[in-house]
Amino acid sequence: MTTSAEPGPTDSVPEWWVFHGTGQPRAHLDLATRLPPPPQWRTYGGALNSGSASPFYEPSAPPGEPAEPEEDETSPGESTRHLGPLHGRTGTVPLGPHRRHLLDKVNAAIHLRRPLLVTGPPGVGKSSLAHQIARELNLGRTLRWAVTSRSTVRDGLYSYDPLTQIHDLNLENAHRRATGQAPDRRYAGDGDAHLRSSAEAISRYLALGALGTAFLPTRTPRVLLIDDFDLGDFDLPGDLLDLFENGGYRIPELARLSGVAPTIEVGTDDPGRTVPVSHGEVLCSAFPITVLTCNSGRDLSPAFMRRCIPVEMGLPDEQELLAAVAGHFRGDLPPGARLLVTEFLERSGSGHELAIDQLLNAVHLVGALGPDQTGPEGGQVRELSELLWHRLTESPG
């Protein structure tokens, strides 16, 4: 459901909305001042206890370091792949009743600091919604946790590899014995320093995952995408309840070392970024904007549902699809795109289960052929749609 522009002047965007559904950055928007305070029962107040000037984790480059390059068509990131490259052209996407209902739900979830549970058939733009929010509200990189049947909440929070740690220690000891080196005397006479150094070495083998990084204390909320939530096992929703309710988690491996190393620097899901964790405890300051996607109507417990805001997505209408196509092609509609969108909607309306990426594949291929190959009657366009638009439920072949 990618769009490429702010809603038009006749669309009457409600004043309380902070997210307009454009997928394009809002210039000069400071969400920290624009977003009203959370309900008092959704206030957590987490902060880093590292002695630094800022109490918040900064996912971008710290002062004095070069900033990371913006995403564009020459260095595409995940958001660019979902939404298309940034461009300066604008258009109008009408706010129909279905789209307005969706955006009402999204904004309610942002205001109330509640997870948004998005259901719908495959390929309608559920995952793209999280990237739209992050890009429009200038919230940086989307943190994505891809759920599988083997996923656990611990997997999403952090990873720890004790076997590699033991293996590296054995290799170091074997190397010292083989080379006849004396025991390590860097901390001779200072046993506490030796213990502290050994405890801090765990940082090489423990790193926060996307879920764990999302709950670090930050000035503005991160966008967390929990993708394919319905693929998780039966216990996964219940295991997430404590995290969603309390806004934080504990890392036992670090908590056990707090007596000798109260603060340990560990890696995060943001490439090249680390964060100090004190006493093995992490507590958010701003509850992350969380989007959980489900392809099926999985039964979830009342305890879980009352902590979420559910919304169902269907295929976008014609104007939204045209905007989505234009967004992936630098703001321009390639030749044959309108005919393909019309054909796509007709087939979808007749019971075919199609996905938006199938439409984009056809548009790209038609554009590669050029207008001379497609012909004014659209025969080649229809042949390509027959070739590429297989039903998602049919057998391969």
Q: Is a pLDDT exceeding 90 seen at residue 181?
A: no
Q: Is a pLDDT exceeding 50 seen at residue 10?
A: no
Residue corresponding to tokens 């096992």:
233
**Dihedral sign from CA coordinates of 197, 199, 200, 202:** positive
The band of 111, judged by pLDDT with boundaries at 50, 70 and 90, is: very high
- Tell me 229's DSSP state: G
**Residues 336-355: tens digit of each pLDDT:** 888 888 888 888 877 777 88
Pairing mode, if any, of strands 248-250 and 223-227? unpaired
How many angstroms from the chain centroid is the CA of residue 369?
34
Enter the CATH code of domain 31-60+77-157+205-312.
3.40.50.300
DSSP string, 55-67: SS---SPPTTSPP
Poorest-pLDDT segment among 32-46, 220-234, 334-348: 334-348
Vertex 112 angle, CA 105 and 94, to 5°? 25
Looking at residue 350, its pLDDT comes to: 77
Poorest-pLDDT segment among 68-72, 227-231, 254-258: 68-72
DSSP string, 357-397: HHHHHHHHHHHHH-HHHH-TT-HHHHHHHHHH---TTSPP-
User: Is 203:251 a contact under the CB 8 Å cutoff?
Assistant: no
Can you tell me whether residue 325 is helix, strand or coil? Answer: helix
**Rounded to the nearest 5°, which phi and psi values hold at 212?**
-65, -40
Q: Is a pLDDT exceeding 70 seen at residue 229?
A: yes
Beta strands in the chain (DSSP E): 116-119, 143-146, 158-160, 206-208, 223-227, 248-250, 263-267, 274-278, 281-283, 289-294, 309-312
Work out the mean pLDDT of the chain and round it to a whole number: 82
Looking at residue 2, its pLDDT comes to: 42
Residues paired with residue 275 on neighbouring β-strands, in sequence order: 266
Report the distance separating Cα 179 and Cα 177, nearest Å. Answer: 6
Looking at residue 109, its pLDDT comes to: 97
User: Is 96:102 a contact under the CB 8 Å cutoff?
Assistant: no
User: Is 258:281 a contact under the CB 8 Å cutoff?
Assistant: no
Report the number of secondary-structure helices (H) and strands (E) in the chain.
Answer: 16, 11
User: Is 324:341 a contact under the CB 8 Å cutoff?
Assistant: no
User: Is 345:318 a contact under the CB 8 Å cutoff?
Assistant: yes
Looking at residue 149, its pLDDT comes to: 93
**Residues 245-288: tens digit of each pLDDT:** 999 999 999 999 888 889 999 999 999 999 999 999 999 999 99
Highest-confidence segment of 26-35, 52-61, 239-248: 239-248
The band of 8, judged by pLDDT with boundaries at 50, 70 and 90, is: very low
Report the distance separating Cα 48 and Cα 133, nearest Å. Answer: 26
Highest-confidence segment of 62-66, 311-315, 392-396: 311-315
Q: What is the dihedral of CA 334, 354, 308, 319, to 10 degrees?
A: 30
Domain ranges of the chain: 31-60+77-157+205-312, 162-203, 334-388
Report the distance separating Cα 6 and Cα 342, nearest Å. Answer: 24
- Tell me 251's DSSP state: -
Percentage, residues of the chain above pLDDT 70:
76
